[in-house]
Amino acid sequence: MSICVGSFGPQAYAGAATSKAAAVIDTFSPATRTRLNGIVSEALNRYHIPGVVVFVSAPGEGMWEGAYGRADLTTGQPLSSEAHLPIGSVTKTFTATVILQLVQKGLLALSAPISRWVPQVQNADQITVRMLLNMTSGIYDEYQSGSELLNELKAQPRRTITPEEIVRMAVAHGPVDPPGTPGYSSTNYVILGMIAQDTTHQTMGSLITSEILEPLHLDQTSYGTSATLPAPSALDYIVSDSSRQEVLLYDLSNLGAAGAMVSTVSDMAAWARALGSGELLSASLATQQLQFGSELGTFTPLVGITECSPNSITEIPQLLSGAASLWRV
């Protein structure tokens, strides 16, 4: 399943094919609606995606929210726009915000070396909190294909692995680059979760709930601690050109501050607005957050989009800790 939230400029729509969707919010013109349906339909068909929930907002033009496809291919249950879905690395936007709130309160410094918390990490005295946030630490990504962590989870999907164990695995592998080198690594955000918890003596889930979810009234968003999703939800599938295979959902606690959260598309739309406007941070820190990951480049254009405005999703940095447009595919 996929959950998408987009904030597109007026030239970001293209696509020809129409498709039926269960739209619950629709204030676009018929022509734009047809284009949006075409974009999503093409993505579903090209990648054999079982279902997708979409929210699109274009200032001055309208909003659109809808669900396509199935939550369960065996029963044929339609996917609902109210479905609770894992949001994957969009969790990093919440973790980064909590870290910056601690900076704002004077409890943490972006320039602090991480040797205070994880001295066992190679080059820890040269790696700063800021480097973890903007993906320039050089630390190995334990969430990539072939890693010890993913091999363990493939063998035992419901096993619980602690952040400390994940860091141990990354240390055993060794760094991939010198500190200061751009490179996406979810291990960075596992460590940030450890830092936040050590600084506040609270769990990451409770921090995100009290500092972000409650103030913004994101009542359908939660920090996952098991392999069970709130209802309604959808099954997970691995898709290929020839098949769509149901898979067990990992214990979300294994993803921790890098990817454990669950939400709905409407809550994600509200979060995107708050994140983009810097609602929970000072102007200076909010500006810095939106620059995190800029060295990593940008997304490639979405399927079905042939023109992109300066405000389109393709201009958003890959690192989701700074993105105002959010994706999980």
Give me the DSSP letters along 236-277: EEEE-SS-EEEEPPP-GGGTHHHH-EEE-HHHHHHHHHHHHH
Domain boundary among 195, 212, 229: 212
**Inside any domain, residue 289:** no
* Whole-number pLDDT of residue 115: 98
* Whole-number pLDDT of residue 311: 33
**Inside any domain, residue 95:** yes
Residue 36 and residue 148 in one domain: no
* Whole-number pLDDT of residue 298: 64
Q: What is the pLDDT along the chain (329 residues), one digit of tens a residue?
A: 444 554 332 222 222 233 345 557 889 999 988 888 888 888 888 888 899 999 998 888 899 898 999 999 999 999 999 999 999 999 999 999 999 999 999 999 999 999 999 999 999 999 999 999 999 999 999 999 999 999 999 898 889 999 999 999 999 999 999 999 999 999 999 999 999 999 999 999 999 999 999 999 999 999 999 999 999 999 988 877 777 888 878 899 999 999 999 999 999 999 999 999 999 999 999 999 988 887 787 656 555 555 443 333 323 333 333 333 333 32
Tokens describing residue 284: 């200076």
Residue 244 and residue 196 in one domain: no
Query: What region does 325 belong to: left with phi over 0, alpha with psi -120 to 50, or beta?
Result: beta
Residue 284 CB partners (closer than 8 Å, separation 6+): none
Residue 161 and residue 245 in one domain: no
> Residue 293 has what DSSP assignment?
T
Domain boundary among 212, 239, 257: 212
End-to-end CA distance of the chain: 7
**Inside any domain, residue 322:** yes
**Inside any domain, residue 108:** yes
**Inside any domain, residue 263:** yes
Q: What is the pTM (predicted TM-score) of this model?
A: 0.86
Residue 101 and residue 164 in one domain: yes
Residue 79 and residue 19 in one domain: yes
**Inside any domain, residue 278:** yes
* Whole-number pLDDT of residue 108: 98
Nearest to 317 by CA among 293, 282, 301: 293
* Whole-number pLDDT of residue 47: 84
Residue 82 and residue 108 in one domain: no
Tokens describing residue 271: 């979060």
CATH number, domain of 109, equals: 3.40.710.10
Domain boundary among 188, 212, 236: 212
**Inside any domain, residue 148:** yes
Residue 223 and residue 318 in one domain: yes
* Whole-number pLDDT of residue 329: 27
d(CA 6, CA 159): 34
Nearest to 189 by CA among 123, 90, 112: 90
Residue 222 and residue 173 in one domain: no
* Whole-number pLDDT of residue 18: 31
Residue 83 and residue 111 in one domain: no
Residue 141 and residue 201 in one domain: yes
Total domains present in the chain: 2
d(CA 247, CA 154): 10
d(CA 291, CA 324): 11
Residue 83 and residue 95 in one domain: no
d(CA 78, CA 67): 8
d(CA 94, CA 101): 11
Residue 152 and residue 260 in one domain: no
* Whole-number pLDDT of residue 246: 84
Instruction: Give all strands (DSSP E) within 59-201, no chain letters.
Output: 62-72, 77-78, 85-86
d(CA 216, CA 299): 28
Q: Are strands 2-7 and 51-58 parallel, antiparallel or unpaired?
A: parallel
**Inside any domain, residue 273:** yes
Range of the structural domain that residue 121 is part of: 91-212
Question: Nearest 5°: phi and psi at 19?
Answer: -155, 155
Nearest to 66 by CA among 17, 91, 32, 33: 33
